[in-house]
Amino acid sequence: MEIVLINPRLKTWSPNVYVPLGLAYVAAVLEQAGHRVKIVDLNAQRVSAAELDRRLACADIIGITGMITEYDEVVRLVGMVKQVNPAARVVLGGPLATTFPHELLRASPADFIVTGEGEKTIVHLVAAMEHGGNFDSIGGIVFKAGSEVVTTGPAGPITDLDTVPLPARHLLDMKRYLKDHFASFGMKVKGLNKVRSTNLISSRGCPYSCTFCFKGMWGHKWRGRTPENIIGEMEQLYRSYGVNGFFFTDDTFVLNRERVFELCRRLKEKGLPVVWYCNGRVNLMTRELLQAMGDAGCRGIAYGLESGNQQVLDSIKKDVTLDQVRRAINWTKEAGINTTGYFMIGLPGETRATINETLAFARELALDFYGFSLLTPLPGTELYDSALKAGLISRYRSLREWSLHVNANLTRDCSDGELAAFGQQAFKEFFLQKRFGKNYFLNLGFLKEDARILFSLRNREQARELLARAKGIIGRSKSPK
């Protein structure tokens, strides 16, 4: 079968572009099954309407992924695809399709939805399309049968991730994705003349129960690739593309500490001249683990810290304490590892006082990089369901970028304007006034990406936001210290 997979353009002003690993994994299993696959990543390259039409015209199956913020864009793409190639079957997957399968089938002429983890499901689905099989027996899909929408039972998780082939990066123009992503976090990596980095993932699932976290794709059960399998991918990327920097995007990379220790030991044995970055969780870190990670090339760890108020943390089931945060950050710095902390403003029940506590806590920690976002209850999460039931939000599909906009207000005493002002205050203090804020926009490599994104934006509001932020940073760079 001729299959084209599409990654829609994300609504973001970030100049960083990452490999769409979900599509690359799907492409890999489809190639393994004997199909001819192409990937069109609209987020990484400008493709004219005529060129896109040409690529879609001969496809038997067209797959489209999407984040929860891309509802309108995905619906638009499905309509466009069906106009160009009415005979093609359109399959939607990813977080958006998993969250809103019935709505998407009603709102668009898509034929099938693949929910959750898709590698096994898509192979069975394409085989059924090719050979006229029974769709009812395939777990993890939603599809139209006449005027009805049929939902099959859930597909079981892939228990052994080592059995999944490595992402089909050869179908992408990899030079568009390789850059010094560490620099966007204000990091200058010592020991390497030039960093060429990319993203990869070593595990799926998370057993924790944070109310704001979406678990629809990979579930609560954690599954990890073996150190041998991970290093095999790193070596392949090093040999094939000269990659010497890796961003692990796992939600809970450090859940199995013994796996991380073993990975670090093997990396040191291999002697690969590489550095890496991962997500951590403060209650899982130890001084010994962090020292081993630093010795094996870990140069940055991001922690989801969320709030500086313990009652707020408890209310969102974060299952960490402020003292654990302080210890983990101190140990990370001791190990010589760059520290990033992500916070949310406007968590359920927050007040002006608790938000100010979070800002004060962020100052106390003296992190190397800060990220602040305005809370958005994502569909498919416990937080969204409880807010919807309490009448605090109305059901919505189109979300604006939550680092910029108030999509929902769950605080006790803040107006939307006050909440937005807190977000702007955090952005100015913890981003604009830090050296990485200027580096993020004024680095020549990133300026090229900024221009590319600016000219490819469909939305005037996005363009204004990008220009306003760049202008603010330039203005700050001229100000006296």
Using DSSP, state whether 387 is helix, strand or coil. helix
pLDDT at 156: 87
b/e for 314-353, b at 16 or more Cβ within 10 A? ebbebebebeebebbbebbbebebbbbbbbbbbbbebeee
Q: Which residues contact 344 (CB under 8 A, 6 or more apart)?
A: 212, 306, 307, 372, 373, 374, 375
pLDDT at 400: 60
pTM value surpassing 0.85: yes
Residue 61, beta-bridge partner list: 3, 89
Q: What is the CA radius of gyration of the chain?
A: 22
Distance, in Å, from the CA atom of 15 to the CA atom of 180, rounded to the nearest integer, reads: 12
Grouped pLDDT means (10 residues each) for the chain, 481 residues: 93 73 98 97 86 93 92 93 96 95 94 96 97 92 91 92 98 92 83 91 96 93 97 97 96 97 97 95 98 97 98 97 98 97 95 97 95 90 90 69 73 92 88 65 54 49 56 43 35
Count Cα neighbours of 474 within 13 Å in the Cβ-side half-sphere: 8
- Quick one: residue 9, left, alpha or beta (phi over 0 = left, psi -120 to 50 = alpha)? beta
Contact between residue 366 and residue 333 where contact means Cβ atoms under 8 Å apart: no
Closest CA to 141 of 167, 104, 87, 168: 104
* CATH number, domain 2-151: 3.40.50.280
SS3 letters for 420-444?
HHHHHHHHHHHHHCCHHHHHHHHCH
Contact between residue 140 and residue 154 where contact means Cβ atoms under 8 Å apart: yes
Distance, in Å, from the CA atom of 314 to the CA atom of 369, rounded to the nearest integer, reads: 24
All structural domains of the chain with their residue ranges: 2-151, 209-214+257-432
pLDDT at 435: 62
Q: Thinking of the domain 209-214+257-432, which architecture would CATH place it in?
A: Alpha-Beta Barrel (3.20)
Contact between residue 195 and residue 275 where contact means Cβ atoms under 8 Å apart: yes
Distance, in Å, from the CA atom of 267 to the CA atom of 274, rounded to the nearest integer, reads: 9
